[in-house]
């Protein structure tokens, strides 16, 4: 038996990881990311002459669980046609037996990188509202994302915001269309909670268990999701994640107070974050639209539902909203006073 040098080990690893695209219409370009259960590459679709993102399983599961999850993810994406959700093009099996799917290749930055160049709070809130649009659409189709976090949001070069990585999505029974339910052989599995197991496989900071009980990312997942209470997860679990995401957009971290030296969080925005991340789901916003409405009201200088203002705060908000007219009137009055004083001299 020959000794394998470190260089040979590296080559063997690299060679074993590379998907075998022979027999497909795709040509490998480069690896761009590694996710919870697979790797994402860029590839060229030689039939259509365009670049796509190709996600492929790394480890084959002997029980087919991972394989089914990747297929399910592709089908969930296919059922969610929305400008804020990355579109899927194709799904299949490679020559080496691994399941893959291709989707639109999104050029741009992950949200956590992108916001480093966005200083203004209103701009950050407008990005957040686009995320809310996509999530609200998925909820309307009966799909929970369950892993909303900055790393799963992409911002394109033209400002388009896309929610990615639906690998942990849960399809809610009773709300889902018949075609999606048919495409989701595991839909019933998610309704049978198993003992929560957070310790096993941590990948890309997401915590994923082997079967059925799928967790999210610490800091972004709701308490009920962290407990593995899969049976009772509903749209309010995603609302918790959106609250953490909003806090991250405003303070740089999903939990707690803002970072020292970072931007001071406005009381109304802090209240929106707090309401969305209440420990009890019943205390949170009932749906994403309600949360988005509060954020929009803040952007418009209106009172938000999550925060009861004092008289002083109301006056401050009134001043901020009508600052131009108030300053105009103040200037006019000051001029009148000066004129009167001048005339009485």
Partner 1 sequence: MSEDDFQPSGDRFPLTRRSVIERAHSIDAEERAGALEALCVAYWKPVYKYVRWRWNRPAHDAQDLTQGFFAGLLERGLLDKFDSKKSRLRTYLRVCVDSFVMNEDKAERRQKRGGAVLHVALDFAGAEEELGATVMDAARIPSPESLEQFFEKEWVRSLFALAVEDLRAFCASRERERTFHLFEAYDLEGNETISYQQMAREYGLSVVEVTNALAWARREFRRIALERLRVLSSSEEEFQREARAAFGWVAK
Output 109 or 289, the one with its CB closest to partner 1. 109
Output 16 or 341, the one with its CB closest to partner 1. 16
Residue 301 binds partner 1 (CB under 8 A): no
Could you tell me if 232 and 223 are in contact, meaning their C-beta atoms sit under 8 angstroms apart? no
Q: Determine which residue in the list 99, 230, 250, 306 makes contact with partner 1, applying CB under 8 A.
A: 99
Residue 36 binds partner 1 (CB under 8 A): yes
Output 24 or 235, the one with its CB closest to partner 1. 24
DSSP-derived secondary structure letter, 43: E
Q: Determine which residue in the list 87, 193, 210, 305 makes contact with partner 1, applying CB under 8 A.
A: 210
Output 177 or 200, the one with its CB closest to partner 1. 200
Could you tell me if 181 and 170 are in contact, meaning their C-beta atoms sit under 8 angstroms apart? no
Nearest approach, Cβ of residue 57 and partner 1 (Å): 8
Output 60 or 159, the one with its CB closest to partner 1. 60
Residue 1 binds partner 1 (CB under 8 A): yes
Residue 188 binds partner 1 (CB under 8 A): no
Token pair belonging to 3: 């000794």
Cross-strand partners of 143: 171
Q: Where are the beta strands (DSSP E) in 182-273?
A: 201-203, 206-208
Single out the segment in contact with partner 1 by CB under 8 A; choices: 3-11, 164-172, 262-270, 289-297: 3-11
Neighbour count for residue 209 (Cβ, 10 Å): 17
Output 15 or 157, the one with its CB closest to partner 1. 15
Give the Cα separation of 324 and 319 in Å (integer): 9
Residue with tokens 């994640």, as numbered in its chain: 241
Give the Cα separation of 157 and 170 in Å (integer): 30
Give the Cα separation of 140 and 342 in Å (integer): 67
Residue 189 binds partner 1 (CB under 8 A): no
In the chain, the largest separation of any two C-alpha atoms, in whole Å, equals: 109
Nearest approach, Cβ of residue 255 and partner 1 (Å): 22
Token pair belonging to 325: 């007219």
14 given a catalytic annotation: no
Residue 107 binds partner 1 (CB under 8 A): no
Q: Determine which residue in the list 47, 49, 63, 119 makes contact with partner 1, applying CB under 8 A.
A: 63
User: How would you classify the pairing of strands 109-110 and 99-104?
Assistant: unpaired
Residue 91 binds partner 1 (CB under 8 A): yes
Residue with tokens 């669980």, as numbered in its chain: 65
Give the Cα separation of 126 and 123 in Å (integer): 5
Output 46 or 160, the one with its CB closest to partner 1. 46
Nearest to 195 by CA among 210, 184, 207, 206: 210
Q: What phi and psi values does residue 257 have, to the nearest 5 degrees?
A: -80, 175
Residue 79 binds partner 1 (CB under 8 A): no
Nearest approach, Cβ of residue 320 and partner 1 (Å): 43
Residue 232 binds partner 1 (CB under 8 A): no
Identified catalytic residue from 45, 133, 147, 165: 147
Nearest approach, Cβ of residue 24 and partner 1 (Å): 12
Single out the segment in contact with partner 1 by CB under 8 A; choices: 10-18, 43-51, 114-122, 217-225: 10-18
Q: Determine which residue in the list 98, 124, 170, 284 makes contact with partner 1, applying CB under 8 A.
A: 98
Give the Cα separation of 145 and 163 in Å (integer): 9
Residue 337 binds partner 1 (CB under 8 A): no
Those residues with Cβ within 8 angstroms of residue 147's Cβ, 6 or more apart along the chain or in another chain: 165, 167, 168, 206, 216, 217, 220, 221, 241
Name the residues that contact partner 1, by CB under 8 A: 1-6, 8-9, 11-13, 15-18, 20, 22, 34-36, 39, 58-68, 71, 91-93, 95-99, 185, 200-205, 210
Catalytic residue list = 147
């Amino acid at each position: 038996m020959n000794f394998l040098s470190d260089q040979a080990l590296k080559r063997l690893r690299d060679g074993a990881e590379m998907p075998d695209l022979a027999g497909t219409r795709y040509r490998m370009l480069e690896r761009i990311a590694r996710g919870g259960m697979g790797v994402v590459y860029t590839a060229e679709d030689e039939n259509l002459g365009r670049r796509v993102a190709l996600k492929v399983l790394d480890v084959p599961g002997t029980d087919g669980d991972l394989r089914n999850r990747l297929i399910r993810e592709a089908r969930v994406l296919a059922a969610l046609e929305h400008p804020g959700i990355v579109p899927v093009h194709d799904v299949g099996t490679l020559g080496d037996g691994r399941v893959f799917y291709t989707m639109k290749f999104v050029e741009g930055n992950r949200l956590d990188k992108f916001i480093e160049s966005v200083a203004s709070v209103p701009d950050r809130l407008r990005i957040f509202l686009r995320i809310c649009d996509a999530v609200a659409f998925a909820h309307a189709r009966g799909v929970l994302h369950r892993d909303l976090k900055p790393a799963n949001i992409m911002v394109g070069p033209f400002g388009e915001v896309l929610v990615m990585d639906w690998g942990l999505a849960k399809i809610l029974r009773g709300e889902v269309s018949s075609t999606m339910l048919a495409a989701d052989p595991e839909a019933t599995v998610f309704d049978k909670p198993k003992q929560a197991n957070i310790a096993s496989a941590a990948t890309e900071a997401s915590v994923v268990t082997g079967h059925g009980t799928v967790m999210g990312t610490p800091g972004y997942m709701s308490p009920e999701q962290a407990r593995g209470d899969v049976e009772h997860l509903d749209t309010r679990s995603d609302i918790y994640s959106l609250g953490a995401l909003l806090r991250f957009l405003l303070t740089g971290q999903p939990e707690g107070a803002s970072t020292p030296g970072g931007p001071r969080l406005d009381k109304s925005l802090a209240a929106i974050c707090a309401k969305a991340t209440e420990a009890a789901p019943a205390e949170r916003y009932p749906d994403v639209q309600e949360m988005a409405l509060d954020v929009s009201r803040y952007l418009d200088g209106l009172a938000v539902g999550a925060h009861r203002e004092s008289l002083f705060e109301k006056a401050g908000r009134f001043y901020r909203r009508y600052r131009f007219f108030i300053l105009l009137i103040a200037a006019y009055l000051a001029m009148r006073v000066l004129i009167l004083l001048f005339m009485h001299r």
